[in-house]
Structure 1
Amino acid sequence: MTGTQYKFRIDRAPNSFSRILKNLFLVSALVALIVPAYTHSANARSNPRYASIVVDFDTGLVLSERYADKKLHPASLTKAMTLMMMFDAINSGRVGLKDRIRMSKHAASMVPSKLNIPIGSTIRVEDAIYALVTKSANDVAAAMAEHLGGTESNFAKMMTAKARQIGMKNTRFMNASGLHNPRQVSTARDMAIMARTMINDYPGQYKYFSKRYFTYQGKTYRNHNRLMESYKGMDGLKTGYVSASGFNLVASAVQNNHRLIGVVFGGRSTSTRNAHMANILDNGFEKIGQIKVAAFRNVPVPKPKPALLQALASLNAIAPAAAQKGSSQWANLNTSLQNGMFGRLVGEGDIDPAASNRIETGLMAIAAHKGEAYKAPARTQAPNRIQPARIKVPSGASDSTRLTSINQAWAIQIGAFTSRAQTDKALGQAVLKLPEGLRNGQPVIVPTKKGNGWLFRARLNGYSEAQALAACRYLKDCIPVHPNVTR
């Protein structure tokens, strides 16, 4: 009896043990999934100095952000703005690269990192630029500030004014070096704006930020941004550190013809900061590869067919008179042209029953051959479409909250369709999905010849860049379109 009981327990033990192991495995798997996410979140919460953002350079599209508007201390990221001020002076002719900057007692008193230039000595402007980029020399930054602004405090006011001018709303500079001052603050978003401005507006000078080594008076200094040696496509910008800020970095890299800008505040060390920057940039490049953003390009215009040339000539001749009479373009076309050429040329793919819609489709073909976008008049809007509401701008709001002038406007493309009926329907549905403040876009239909038929791109025009990016967050498969595409 006893032996039987003992054997029974031995027989059952492997099954019980197997279940225990299985349960432990499942628990371990869950922990493996949960802990990294929790740890990342917990680490961010436990590090009050942390913030990050990744932005697409071409469009300003934010690919990731975390605490991006939290005011933190920029440290030596400040020197990028100091350099921007110097580049302004150079570009305006007020300063030359071979000019000399004198080292004052105040500048020489700065704590390291520094070049230790003696009081009264001078340094060439171009050498000073390299000293800020690579060595992050505080004494040179202060001397540069005095050279441009008279005093460093006055120069800091000039820096803050420049920051406001380019859209850095939450930044205040108190010195030119980034040495800690409790009132000197910025945000990850503002630093991304600064970097984007630097790359876009100062292409000739941005090359300085790719300098890996700088030799001055026989001594060679290495750029503090070591990611330029290890991360694919990275070509600038600036590192920063003070004890109050942690390890900061603004960086830019290009991969597969996409340039991204990354900002990290509050790294615990250079290695963890660099690893995190590499990680968020990797994720950004993966995302941007999946997002097709319409960018400006010169699209060759097909050679018009003979019948179309005749139509263009007649339209160009009668356009002024038509405008005076208030008649529509398509009404000026003769009947044979309406029923013949348009039917043959663009009838494929146009399933609208209304004759006027078919003629209007022909006008869009003319617009396409002329390299223009066709703006749909009100009468051609889809049935039952709700008219976009007027934007209500709060009192005191700046003009930047209003829809941009059509001639300088971004658009959003909501889709491309083989049928005008589908195009009109999609435009109407898109308007309904947008919040009230983004519904006032002007419908624009852009036709493209596709094989034996036509493809109609449906767009809403009249947005600022920020509004276009915001609108696309509400719509599936939405593409922000650069102003040069919509003209």
Structure 2
Amino acid sequence: MNAARSPYGFVSRIFLLCLAMLVTGLALPSLTQAAQRDSRYGAIVMDHDTGAVLYAVNADRRSYPASLTKVMTLYLLFDALNSGKLRLDSTMRVSAHAAAQAPSKLALAPGERISVEDAVLALVTKSANDVAVVVAEALADSEGDFAELMTRKAQQLGMDDTTYRNASGLPNPGQISTPRDQALLARALIRTHGKYYHYFSTRQFKWRGQPISTHNRLMLRYQGADGIKTGYINASGFNLMASAKRQGRRLIGVVFGGNTAAWRDRNMAQILDKGFARAGKGPDIRSASIESDDRADLDALIAAANRDSSVKQVSMRAAKSAETEEEGDDDPSTWAIQVGAFNSYKPAHSAASSAAKKLGGLVSTAAVDVSELHRGKKTTYRARLTGFTEDQARAACKRLGRAKQACQVVQGS
């Protein structure tokens, strides 16, 4: 009998929950409590048409915008397109400074050229830091001069609490903004550069024959969502600027300081839902509070306890090293590599373990993951290594390919 359906299913679930809490020493915080304790957290939902604030928590708290910075970089690039300074088929030269940027990046070489349209696509999907600098240097004498133009434009748009120091959003203590300012930026971009906004809906584009998928997974799941940008550095946490349109009404949401990409996306979905529910129902709501979602938190913790208690599901987890601030834009734990699918558990585990040995230091933050999949009467065991950044996953598959071992890069959900 299925334990979840048995008379003892609920007791079993509570036992797993209690066990997880005893082992980890953790209480069961709600989304409300977790967000209020995190000094980086802030959020806002704004009506695109009227500018009315429908939801706000710490909306004026200053923090690091991370790769949301690239929205301003693109704003100025769209300005240049409108003025005729550049065309979509114009090409821009890659400097040594641009090529030296930390990941996430296209790995452009000094002296290479990239078209404006490819640059736009690389920024909205991969959030390529090297491309951001290419754009900056094409529009100003240096990236520093471009940052001054960015700050000046921010002031013109009413972004009074924003200062830019670079074009990418990579760590700089002087580069600060707020959720409210970033919502103003998104609204201004859509209103001023609407004919280019469709680029932010790009799910995938090809660069040198290789598909590059968007980091914005909320856009793939939330009804009406059509952009616009994710962001992550260690100091900021997981940021997101999003826009969604339902029944002719467009809302803009901004979240700063999520603990994980998944938490950030879920929180954004919740506050956009609140915004759509409140739209047109009264005056501006300037200081709404996050409402608790204890049931979802309970289910998440029980699921985590189930995963951790399964020896077959995750059989080996290396100690996680500290995240570096150059992760760029993606959740460091959301990429994986798949090394095969097998008819039984043992060869699947053996294949993943063998791959881990061949990769050596590249798996310092990864884990062997053998998943049992059921299709009709057939059971398949999928062998993966999880916990990579995108760049690490691609480097891992490249190394395994040289060793004649099958490997596929997989973007996590």
Match of 1:204 among 163, 182, 195: 195
- Tell me which residue corresponds to 1:439: none
Tell me whether 1:45 sits opposite 2:23 in the alignment.
no
Superposed, which structure 2 residues align to 1:145-224 within 5 Å?
A: 145-224=136-215
Task: Identify the residue that residue 266 of structure 2 maps to in structure 1.
Answer: 275
1:214: how far off?
1.2
- How far is the alpha carbon of 1:44 from its aligned partner? 2.1
The normalised TM-score by structure 1 is: 0.52
CA distance in 2, matches of 1:95, 1:257: 33
Which residue of the other structure, out of 80, 98, 104, is the alignment partner of 1:113? 104
Aligned letter for 1:89?
Answer: A
How far apart, in 1, do the equivalents of 2:151 and 2:280 lie? 35
The alpha-carbon deviation at position 155 of structure 1 amounts to 0.2
2:69 corresponds in structure 1 to: 78
Matches within 5 A, 1:216-235: 216-235=207-226
C-alpha distance in 2, partners of 1:220/1:152? 28
The residue correspondences of 1:50-129 to structure 2 (distance < 5 A) are 50-129=41-120
- 1:300-315 matches, within 5 Å, as none
1:249 aligns with 2:235: no
Runs (5+) with no aligned partner, structure 1: 1-35, 294-487
- Matching residue's letter, 2:164: F
Deviation at 1:37, TM superposition (A): 12
Distance 1:221 1:38, change over 3 A: closer
- Which residue is equivalent to 2:386? none
SS at match of 2:251: strand
Which residue in the other structure is 1:402 paired with?
none
Q: Give, in whole Å, the separation in 2 of the partners of 1:101 and 1:57.
A: 33
Q: Secondary structure at the match of 2:279?
A: helix
Larger Rg: 1
* Paired letter, 1:163: A
Q: CA RMSD in A?
A: 1.7
Change (3 A) 1:287 1:38: farther
Structure 1 counterpart of 2:229, which letter? K
Change (3 A) 1:67 1:219: same
Shift of 1:292: 10
Cα distance in 1 for partners of 2:197, 2:219 equals 14
1:383-422 equivalence runs, <5 A: none
Does residue 132 of structure 1 match 2:123? yes
Unpaired segments ≥5 residues, structure 2: 1-26, 285-413
Deviations 1:452-481 (A, max 9, x none): xxxxxxxxxxxxxxxxxxxxxxxxxxxxxx
Task: Note the alpha carbon deviations across 1:183-211, whole angstroms, 9 max, x for none.
Answer: 10000000000000011111101111111
Equivalent AA in structure 2 for residue 272 of structure 1: W
Mapped to 2, the partners of 1:58 and 1:99 lie a distance apart of 33
Cα offset, 1:291, TM superposition: 5.0
Q: 1:265 aligns with which of 245, 256, 265?
A: 256
Q: Does 2:276 match 1:285?
A: yes
Distance 1:64 1:37, change over 3 A: farther
- How far 1:117 moved relative to its partner? 1.0
Deviation at residue 228 of structure 1 after TM alignment = 1.2
Shift of 1:40: 3.8
The alignment partner of 2:184 has SS state of helix
- Whichever residue aligns with residue 276 of structure 1, its letter is N
Deviations 1:119-170 (A, max 9, x none): 1000001000100000000000011100101100000000000000111000
Structure 2 residue 228 is the aligned partner of structure 1 residue 237: yes
Q: Cα distance, 1:41 vs. partner?
A: 3.9
Q: Which amino acid aligns with 1:233?
A: G
Number of residue pairs the alignment of both structures matches: 258
Q: Which structure has more RCO (C-alpha within 8 Å, separation ≥ 6)? A: 2
Q: 1:266 to 1:125 in 2, by over 3 A?
A: same
How far off is 1:257 after superposition?
Answer: 1.2
Distance in structure 2 (CA, Å) of the matches to 1:197 and 1:45 = 29
Q: Any idea what SS the aligned residue of 1:261 has?
A: strand
The one-letter code sitting in structure 1 at the alignment partner of 2:107 is N
Distance 2:28 2:225 in 1: 28
Q: Which string of whole-angstrom CA distances, capped at 9 and with x for unpartnered residues, describes residues 370-402 of structure 1? A: xxxxxxxxxxxxxxxxxxxxxxxxxxxxxxxxx
What is the TM-score normalised by the length of structure 2? Answer: 0.61
Judging changes above 3 Å, is the alpha-carbon distance between structure 1 residues 58 and 131 closer, same or farther for their aligned structure 2 residues?
same
Distance 2:56 2:205 in 1: 33
SS of 1:244 mapped into structure 2: coil
C-alpha separation in 2, matches of 1:80 and 1:277: 18
* 2:129 alignment partner AA: N
- Secondary structure of the residue that 2:187 maps to in structure 1? helix
